[in-house]
Amino acid sequence: MALVFLPALARMAVCGGTHGNELSGVYVVQEMERQWKEKGECAWPIPVTTVLSNPRAVKECRRYIEKDMNRCFNRATLSSPITDSSPYEVRRAHELNNLLGPKGSTDAIDLICDLHNTTANMGLTLIHYTTSDWVTLHICKYLQTKLTKVPVRVLVLDVPISDAYSLESVSKHGFSIEVGPQPHGVVRADIYTIMKEAVDLTIDWIHKFSSGMVFEGGDVEAFRFIKSVDYPRDPETRTLTAAIHPQLQDRDFCLLKRGDPLFLSFSGETVKYEEEEPLHPFFINEAAYYEKEIAFHLGKKMMLTIPSVQVQKD
Amino acid sequence: MALVFLPALARMAVCGGTHGNELSGVYVVQEMERQWKEKGECAWPIPVTTVLSNPRAVKECRRYIEKDMNRCFNRATLSSPITDSSPYEVRRAHELNNLLGPKGSTDAIDLICDLHNTTANMGLTLIHYTTSDWVTLHICKYLQTKLTKVPVRVLVLDVPISDAYSLESVSKHGFSIEVGPQPHGVVRADIYTIMKEAVDLTIDWIHKFSSGMVFEGGDVEAFRFIKSVDYPRDPETRTLTAAIHPQLQDRDFCLLKRGDPLFLSFSGETVKYEEEEPLHPFFINEAAYYEKEIAFHLGKKMMLTIPSVQVQKD
């Protein structure tokens, strides 16, 4: 298999609290800042910037104050001028773009690892924007090998980088990590530990890569986002009339086939999956998606083949 | 065993959304209101009032808007005059006291069943204020017999009724039902179904009791609240430095003995239970208790003996 030489990764950022009530990421960043105070530059083998993305939302333990910040990093929002009426999160997105970007420029930081939690049973899911970022896919392959406590999966939101709206899209090789299930406003030690290990392994990979190690290529299984499905709702009041069916709940990334149960109405009727094409549901019953009118997403499994990689020599 | 004759129960209320992000109760009340629209007085064999307790908090999917409403039903708060600066929840508590009380009066409704969810693995827990309310304890015994999917437990907060601060204290025989684990802002079909069954069985018990059925007495296991334990925190910032230990997480009502792990610090150290007396922890890692500085409560198991009961003849 061909060996691809890639530019070195000089600098990475670990961001938590982009959603203020997703607590594992908040405490991973806090712990890394404690380690930095204790050990200084020796804390990690590569330079790492830590960022608490939305400090006001963290303080109030809410997803956001005025606007979901992780939808504010598209080119349009970042290029619009800040005015007196700009929401807090738009201002903060501009600040973070100045700190870690500017998005799309050569000055942008090499890699952002943005830490998220979900109420869905997603294990550890790495989300990013393309099927051809060898760095991110190699990090994922590395996590799949080293992290054995939970399934590690890759999700691809295949949109142009200018439309990409989340924090990690500011960096050259960004990805977010979703770890669940964890209720929002709660930190579970098991979920925290998995997330911390994933961050440590990411740093480890970058260090080894920068030191000249060759990483063998191969196949990486990934899921591509296809579409979202909403809850059954009362047509007038828009209130839910059903919950996720117990046979679907907690079964993120299973294969959903025609006739499989989707919802159980509050009066006891089952709503079934009616489409011909079997697909994989994920973000099943994520708390933050009720207001976005999303019960779950559907995706399609695909196999990506990645080349062996090594850092370019100077 | 002695047979005790008790006054009939003419009217009960089922309340949900006292905390606006505890969604099973919100949807149980919504479903009961749908049944009422469909069937009218035939919906249940006894008169049932349904109440959405904190509609503004439900709309915003938050625990409360200005003040935790389920701490507003003590005598002092209910007897203070409403002013322009009274928080929304204090106003609403006065309204509900007028509707369902007044607390402590003969006009008060016979029974309030107030529906709550918790992020803790509490199964179904019935909470009330005394060890001598035969009606509530018989309903609990009935639920323990009929509900087999989850453990059904009784928790006693042994405080004078005037100090009792929660909604169910407004009625003559009130109790709240906690069902979990369910993340706040999420409805799980399994948790919803258990809660709905518990409400239906409570109505069923009251109907049978009012119809003259004798309910045999016996022993009921209960837990008495002893004290609360906070998370380890940074003395200056008050931020958490540890999470519930994985060996304690989800083990509500287990027996905690000296040396058992309580917390796992974010840097990996274990904090142990140091007290001589073994006690039972519950509400372990409840999201809403972080701000109250409570990691879990500790309780003591006790056995209550209840007499056989029958309704008084007119």
pLDDT tens figures, A193-209: 999 999 999 999 999 99
Contacts with B183 from chain A: Cβ below 8 Å: 119, 181, 183-184, 186, 287
B218, exposed or middle or buried, with CB in 10 Å at 0-12, 13-18, 19+? middle
Contacts with A287 from chain B: Cβ below 8 Å: 183-186
**Mutating which of A187, A240, A241 best tests the B interface, going by the most B Cβ atoms within 10 A?**
A187
Q: Looking at chain B, which residue has its C-alpha nearest residue A119?
A: B183
Is A299 contained in some domain?
Answer: no
**Mutating which of B58, B186, B270 best tests the A interface, going by the most A Cβ atoms within 10 A?**
B186
Which pLDDT value is given to residue B129? 85
The reply to whether A178 belongs to the active site is yes
pLDDT at B172 over 80: yes
Total tally of structural domains belonging to chain A = 1
Q: What is the mean pLDDT of residues A34-39?
A: 94
CB of B233 within 8 Å of a chain A CB? The answer is: no
pLDDT at A108 over 90: yes
Contacts with A28 from chain B: Cβ below 8 Å: 266
Closest CA to B123 of B95, B143, B103, B98: B143
Quick count: other Cβ atoms within 10 Å of Cβ A314? 4
**B221 token code pair:** 């296991």
Is A125 contained in some domain?
Answer: yes
Which pLDDT value is given to residue B218? 95
CA distance A9 to A300: 31
Give the closest of A185, A187, A266 to B30, CB-based. A266
A-B contacts (CB, under 8 Å): 96
Is A241 contained in some domain?
Answer: no
Which pLDDT value is given to residue B182? 98
| Better-scored residue on pLDDT, B157 or B95 | B95
Closest CA to A176 of A185, A167, A184: A167
| Better-scored residue on pLDDT, A40 or B274 | B274
CB contact under 8 A, A61 and B245: no
CB of B181 within 8 Å of a chain A CB? The answer is: yes
CB of A184 within 8 Å of a chain B CB? The answer is: yes
Rounded to two decimals, the ipTM of the complex is 0.94
Task: Work out the percent of chain A whose per-residue pLDDT is above 70.
Answer: 99
Closest CA to A116 of A159, A77, A68: A68
pLDDT, chain B, mean: 95
**B1 token code pair:** 């065993």
Which pLDDT value is given to residue A23? 98
For residue A189, what is the domain's CATH number?
Answer: 3.40.630.10
- Order across the sheet with A242-244: list the strands: A242-244, A261-265, A270-272
Which pLDDT value is given to residue A112? 97
CB of B285 within 8 Å of a chain A CB? The answer is: yes
Q: For the segment A42-76, what is each residue's pLDDT rounded down to a tens digit?
A: 899 999 999 999 999 999 999 999 999 999 999 99
CB of B288 within 8 Å of a chain A CB? The answer is: yes
Is B201 contained in some domain?
Answer: yes
What 8-state DSSP symbol labels residue A256? B
Q: For the segment B90-117, what is each residue's pLDDT rounded down to a tens digit?
A: 999 999 999 999 999 999 999 999 999 9
CA distance B95 to B123: 31
Q: For the segment A165-196, what is each residue's pLDDT rounded down to a tens digit?
A: 999 999 999 999 999 999 999 999 999 999 99
CB of A293 within 8 Å of a chain B CB? The answer is: no
Task: Work out the percent of chain A whose per-residue pLDDT is above 90.
Answer: 93
Is A99 contained in some domain?
Answer: yes
Residue with tokens 């929840």: B89
Q: How confident is the model at residue B1 (pLDDT cuts 50, 70, 90)?
A: low
Q: For the segment A256-277, what is each residue's pLDDT rounded down to a tens digit?
A: 999 999 999 999 999 999 999 9
Q: How confident is the model at residue B284 (pLDDT cuts 50, 70, 90)?
A: very high
Which pLDDT value is given to residue A215? 97
pLDDT at A230 over 70: yes
CB of A118 within 8 Å of a chain B CB? The answer is: no
Is A80 contained in some domain?
Answer: yes
Locate all alpha helices (DSSP H) within chain B, ordered by sequence. 23-39, 55-60, 75-79, 88-100, 134-146, 189-210
Cis ω for the linkage preceding A102 (within 30 of 0): yes
Least reliable range by pLDDT among B46-60, B62-76, B153-167, B176-190: B153-167
Catalytic residues of B: 178
CA distance A299 to A281: 6
pLDDT at B236 over 90: yes
Is-contact A93 A78, C-beta < 8 A?
A: yes
| Options A31, A60, A66, A178, the catalytic residue | A178
Task: Work out the percent of chain B whose per-residue pLDDT is above 70.
Answer: 99
Owning domain of residue B113: 3-222+305-311
- Order across the sheet with B261-265: list the strands: B242-244, B261-265, B270-272
Q: How confident is the model at residue B42 (pLDDT cuts 50, 70, 90)?
A: confident
CB of B121 within 8 Å of a chain A CB? The answer is: no
Contacts with A183 from chain B: Cβ below 8 Å: 119, 181, 183-184, 186, 287
Q: How confident is the model at residue A1 (pLDDT cuts 50, 70, 90)?
A: low
Whether residue B22 is annotated as binding a ligand: the answer is: yes
Is B85 contained in some domain?
Answer: yes
Q: For the segment A267-306, what is each residue's pLDDT rounded down to a tens digit?
A: 999 999 999 999 999 999 999 999 999 999 999 999 999 9
Which pLDDT value is given to residue B132? 86
pLDDT at B87 over 90: yes
pLDDT at A161 over 80: no
Which pLDDT value is given to residue A96? 98
Distance from CA of A61 to the nearest CA of B (A): 9
Residue positions of A in the annotated binding site for Zn(2+)?
Answer: 19, 22, 116
Which pLDDT value is given to residue A313? 84
Q: Dihedral angle at the C-alpha atoms of A122, A128, A129, A132, nearest 10 degrees? A: -110
Is A250 contained in some domain?
Answer: no
Quick count: other Cβ atoms within 10 Å of Cβ A163? 12
Q: How confident is the model at residue B40 (pLDDT cuts 50, 70, 90)?
A: confident
Contacts with B196 from chain A: Cβ below 8 Å: 266
Whether residue B245 is annotated as binding a ligand: the answer is: no
